[in-house]
Amino acid sequence: MKHELHNYWGERRIIPAVRKPEDLTAACRGDWPAVFLLIGDLFTVEEYVSQVLAAGKKVFLHVDFITGLGGDPIVMRFIAERIRPTGIISTKSHFIKHAKKNGLLAIQRIFLIDASALEHGIQNVEQSGPDAVEVMPGLIPKVITVLRDRISLPIIAGGLIQEHSEIATALRAGASAVSMGGRHLWTP
């Protein structure tokens, strides 16, 4: 499935990360094949996901940011059966495992602040079995290269990306795609 996930962003390799409801329309109108959804609550998330899917895009729901979802494994079944995104994003290994059991694609987000966090992140990825890894912050090309060499999953760079040159640097380092919330970066 990892190759299938890589194909979702294809040549565009930019993934809009929607952090505000007012950005959702712009993300749906653009020609990006996938959207990361980092907004919503139990009352709004289903409509947000439906909007993205209706625009013909794949949608990955960052479940850690959805207000009202708990940590119980039944949450992934609810998301898979009721909300129906393409997949989820989470820092939590148990969410990754349960998402996969419920037929969702899963992207594990890891925060890299030092060498220990890198090793711990790699261990978590190996244990949870996601389809891709999103590394935060995305401004560390050396670490993207290390991850690319150590894990055989697509790497998504995200976080603190503020300029087009930073997108290019992350891609040259080996990232499969780059996610960012700044709408000004969603176009080349």
The token pair at 151 is 């894990």
Per-residue pLDDT, 1:
42
- Domain segments of the chain: what residues? 2-185
| pLDDT tens track for 78-112 | 999 999 999 999 999 999 999 999 999 999 999 99
Please give the DSSP secondary-structure letter assigned to residue 60.
E
Per-residue pLDDT, 23:
96
How many C-alpha atoms does 147 have within 13 Å on its Cβ side? 36
Global pTM?
Answer: 0.92
CATH topology of domain 2-185: TIM Barrel (3.20.20)
| pLDDT tens track for 141-168 | 999 999 999 999 999 999 999 999 999 9
Asked if 101 and 74 count as a contact pair (C-beta separation under 8 A), the reply is no
Asked if 175 and 138 count as a contact pair (C-beta separation under 8 A), the reply is yes
* Helix intervals (H) in 17-92: 21-29, 45-54, 74-78
Q: How confident is the model at residue 4 (pLDDT cuts 50, 70, 90)?
A: low
